[in-house]
Amino acid sequence: MSVSDLIGALDAIPKLTAPSSATEPSSVFLDAPEWLTEEYLQDALRKYYKDQRLRINWVKVNPALGKGENYGGVLTRVKAQFTSSDGTSQLGHYIVKSTFEGNEFAQNTMEPYDIFNREMTIYEQVLPKQKSLLREIGDAEQIFAETMAVDLDNSALIFEDLNARGFVMPDRLVGLDLKLARIVLRKLAKMHATSAVLNEREEHSLEGYDRGFFNRYTENYAPAFIGMFEAATRRVAQWPGYEKYAEKMEALVPIYMELGKRIFDITPGQINVLAHGDLWTNNVLVKYDKETGEPEDVIIIDFQYTAWGSPALDLFYFLNTSLEFDLHQNHQEQLIAYYFDIFSNTLRKLQYQAPVPSLHQFHQQLHTKKFYAAHTSISVFPIQRNVETADADFNALMENNQRAINFKNACYTNPISQRILRELLPGFVAEGLLDVDQ
């Protein structure tokens, strides 16, 4: 979701209990947007189910999150019982996502990224085509949430409520294990491959998605990225034997944003895809086996920071924010190889016309973007694993005042974040990823 979700003080969609099937006698609208009425929902369901005689019997609407908890959008949970034209009754569960409200600073900061309009376009014009491409090759696997409606007039999206099917958010503080990471990477590989084919067939239609976290239009997120990197530098400088790393980090601050932009720049001769842009633990929903507790399925959600660019954007971001420690530190190459096998095979099945790199060539391409691995490990991972929630809000992340500095410093008191820095910094330095000249 939005950068505000990176603070780790909240979960984008809460883990709910199983919905009740008991009949409710009357409709209830609790803190719903004014336009979200029973008539509106009935019209949306009629269009989705292609049934003009469909009739809502009752509807229950309530906030999915508290006010001010998510600056990337207002999430509203809807449960509706309706009767189709054939007389059958159904109970539907939906999530309505509408534009953010209430925090002028957050709105002004995010405005250049145009996150909500871009997400609506992705759900309306891009994801359905990617789904169709998979169907071309007989692949029925679901990657994205089912979109019930895209409402441009009210800047709203209506999705199936995946929690009703048993999907929940994994624990961001633990990290994903090998089995779950492989499921996410399998779906990511198919998402990337279909986007490359779609862009090729539609004559570069996806290349206008160029407002990722780093881009050539705005530096509004610089206070977060640079502020976190400076907080990391202060922490590292306190450790005996790490003074040389702190010196390198301090020297990197003036060019930090430029290095990030280069990662998002298109590199001639490399394969490019439509990257999710914010793929981490809170943006996947998981269905677990009720008996064994093993992960069975994953749905990727929230496409507000999609960007056309290297697969490295998602691979390095996901692998350096969302895994168990051992996987993070020791098994990234194997996970990339697993991803690449599915990615390249899907491209070939879809008869992708441009050259498909070999695994070795693919690793070489990723290496040119590897500063992003350092960035996510040093400056993003500690936000997402943060447990100090007292000052964890959008303003604390994006401002430079003392409260914001205190919050950023607190992110590096977490033992797991300190361990990541201690064990990965020597490797980053050895690869030249913290050099000014790179």
Closest by alpha carbon to 151, among 107, 121, 114?
A: 121
What pLDDT does 102 receive? 60
The model carries a pTM of 0.90
What pLDDT does 394 receive? 86
| CB 213 within 8 Å of CB 380 | no
Domains of the chain: 3-113 (no CATH), 127-144+167-430 (3.90.1200)
Helix H, strand E, coil C: the string for the chain is CCHHHHHCCCCCCCCCCCCCCCCCCCCEECCCCCCCCHHHHHHHHHHHHCCCCCEEEEEEEEECCCCCCCCCCEEEEEEEEEECCCCCEEEEEEEEEECCCCCHHHHHHHHHHCHHHHHHHHHHHHHHHHHHHHHHCCCCCCCECCEEEEECCCCEEEEECHHHHCEECCCCCCCECHHHHHHHHHHHHHHHHHHHHHHHHCCCCCCCCECCCCCCCCCCCHHHHHHHHHHHHHHHCCCCCCHHHHHHHHHHHHHHHHHHHHHHCCCCCCCCEEECCCCCHHHEEEEECCCCCCEEEEEECCCCCCEEECCHHHHHHHHCCCECHHHHHHCHHHHHHHHHHHHHHHHHHCCCCCCCCCHHHHHHHHHCCCHHHHHHHHHHHHHHCCCCCCCCCHHHHHCCCHHHHHHHHHHCCCHHHHHHHHHHHHHHHHCCCCCCCC
What pLDDT does 100 receive? 63
Neighbours of 185 (CB within 10 A): 25
Per-residue pLDDT of the chain in tens (438 residues, 90 and over written 9): 343 443 333 333 333 333 344 445 577 777 788 899 999 999 999 999 999 999 999 999 998 865 444 556 688 999 999 999 999 999 999 999 987 666 688 888 888 898 888 999 999 999 999 999 999 999 999 999 999 999 999 989 999 999 999 999 999 999 999 999 999 999 999 999 999 999 999 999 999 999 999 999 999 999 999 999 999 999 999 999 999 999 999 999 999 999 999 999 999 999 999 999 999 999 999 999 999 999 999 999 999 999 999 999 999 999 999 999 999 999 999 999 999 999 999 999 999 999 999 999 999 999 999 999 999 999 999 999 998 777 778 889 999 999 999 999 999 999 999 999 999 999 999 999 999 998
